[in-house]
Every structure is written in C-alpha cells, then in structure tokens.
Structure 1
Amino acid sequence: MKVLDLRCAHGHAFEGWFASERDFASQQEHQMVACPLCADTAVTRLPSAPRLNLGASAPAQQPTGPATHGAARDDMPGGEGAVAMQQLWLQAVRHVMSRTEDVGERFTEEARRIHYGEAPSRGIRGQATAEQRAALADEGIETVALPVPPGLDGPAH
C-alpha cells in the first residue's frame, strides 16, 4: 500500500492511499483522484520522506530543518496549520450533516414552516440561492451557507 501526499490546484493538501505507483498513475490519468475539499482533479504529488518502521530497538529519528512534512511549513499555504484547519473544517461539516435533515431544494419552504410553527423545530440542510437566503433573512430566519465537498453530500454515516 502506498500512502502519497497530494495537493490540488487550490492548495488543499491531503493523503491518497493506492495499491501501487501504477495504480496512482492510472487513477490520475483517468481523473479519478480528486481533492476531498473541492473535488478538483488537478492533483499533484508532493515530495515526501519514506516512513520506515525500524522496530522498537531503534531510536526515533527527529526531522531536521524547518520542514516536518514534505516541503510544507506551518506558515505556507498547505502547511501543517492549513492541513489541521482543513481537517477541523471537514470534521465540522460531517458533524452538521450527521445532525441535520436533508430537505434538498425544499430548504426555503421548510425553513419558513419551522419558523412559523407549521412544522416541528429541527436542524435542516438543503439548497438555497443567495437571493433565497436574503429573503429568509428579511423574515428573521437565520441561515448559514455551508459548502459541502462532493462525496460528503450523500447520506451521513
């Protein structure tokens, strides 16, 4: 199993697990490798140090120099701080999705029904345009636009 450090054209860093180098190349050629945050298929492989398991008797090797993960530093786009923020954002999106009901394109209608007491109060999510969200705000109905990465927009597990 090969674990590769990858980055999309928008600077999102992530890991990909592949059976072999050939498997990665084939999937990338067929645009099957996509960023989990933005679904961009313009993915490049980042340089990474091999991870060696030398056994319990060998002392742990500490990285030297300013970089501790490939060429990324905390103060660079895609650095460890950015990766940690991406992970927290994905965790928050999963949390919201697992605790809300997907009402799809009926979002504005259902939000109004809940607001005016015509439907039980509950957390919902769905699709609404900026104009629809503005109209809801004019009625005193608060909403939050939350972009959901492709792949997470199916049933929550």
Structure 2
Amino acid sequence: MIVFDLKCGQGHVFEAWFGSSRAFEEQRAGGLVQCPMCGDPAIEKAVMAPNVAAKGNRKADAPAARLDSTPAAEALPSPDAIKAALQVLAQAQAKALETSQWVGKSFAKRARAMHAGEEAEAPIHGQATLEQAKQLIDDGVPVAPLPFPVVPPQARN
C-alpha cells in the first residue's frame, strides 16, 4: 500500500491509500477518486514532506517551531492522531460494507425505490453523481456519502 496526500480543485487536502501509483492513476482516470469534503473529482497529488529518520548515531533535531503558536493551534490533534482516527474510520467503513450490496450506477434508482416502498429495504452502496445525490437528499431519501472511495467489485484484482 502507498499513502498519498491529495488535493482537490477546491483546495481541500486529504490522505488516501492505494495499492500502487498506477492504481491511483487508474482510479482517478475512472472517476473513482473524489474529495471526501466536497465531492470534487479534480484530484491531484499534493506536495508531501518525506519522513526521513535520523541516523542511529545522531540525536534527532529539536522539533521545528510552530508557525502558529496560538492556544487554538495547540489544541489541534497531532498528525499521528488524525491518521489513527482515519484508519479507524476506514476499518469501520470496510466492516459496514461487508453486509452491504454493491449496486453500482443504479444506486440512486434503487435507493429511491426502497424509499418509495417499491423494493424491500436493504443496505446498498454504489455510485451516484453529485446531482443525483443532491436530488435524493432534497426528496428526503436517507443517503450519505462514504468517507473513503470504494473500488467496484469488478475492478478489484
């Protein structure tokens, strides 16, 4: 697995895991990578600082001074705490998807049919355009975006 910092066209920066650089490029080209904050599919790799360990025979340098040392900035969680929380969230999503059926691009149609009582209710997940999702919400259909992209079953290797 490889971790990338990604940035959408709206400037949101987020982290995502991929099997390889090629997997990232293929998923992005297929429209499977979207900003978890705004849904923007215009995703690029963000600049990342390498994590280089200190040599074994040297003391680690003192931590760099913070650019913003206000009390509010000090109350922010550490990057490690954020990564740990995202990992727990990713595991929770994976567990929830174990009992959910992938319905692909028919998600909006199926969710609407379940809401109208035309189809038995069941946990489903799939793809919907931003416009379809907004319309479902406006119509009172209970839907929510998943925090992490889902690879369709037919695209898994």
User: Which deviates more from structure 2 when the two are superposed, residues 90-99 or residues 117-126?
Assistant: 90-99
Q: Secondary structure at the match of 2:89?
A: helix
RMSD, aligned α-carbons: 4.4
Give the TM-score normalised by the residue count of structure 2: 0.53
Aligned to 2:85: 85
Tell me, which stretches of 5 or more residues in structure 1 are unaligned?
17-26, 52-64, 67-73
Opposite residue 93 of structure 1, the aligned amino acid is Q
Map 1:1-157 to 2 at 5 A. 8=5, 10=13, 12=15, 31-32=21-22, 45-48=50-53, 75=76, 79-149=79-149, 152-155=150-153
Greater fraction of residues in helix:
2
Q: Is the 8 A contact 1:102 1:126 kept in 2?
A: yes
TM-score by length of 1: 0.53
Following the alignment from structure 1 to structure 2, what is the Cα–Cα distance between the partners of residues 11 and 106?
28
Contact 2:107 2:124 in 1 (8 A): yes
Percent identity over the alignment?
27
Structure whose alpha-carbon radius of gyration is higher: 1
Deviation at 1:48, TM superposition (A): 3.2
> How many pairs align?
119
Give the secondary structure class of the aligned counterpart of 1:125: strand
Q: Which runs of 5+ in 2 are unaligned?
A: 7-12, 25-32, 35-42, 57-61, 64-74
- Deviation track 1:88-131 (CA, whole Å, cap 9, x = no partner) reads 12112212321211111111110111112221110111111222
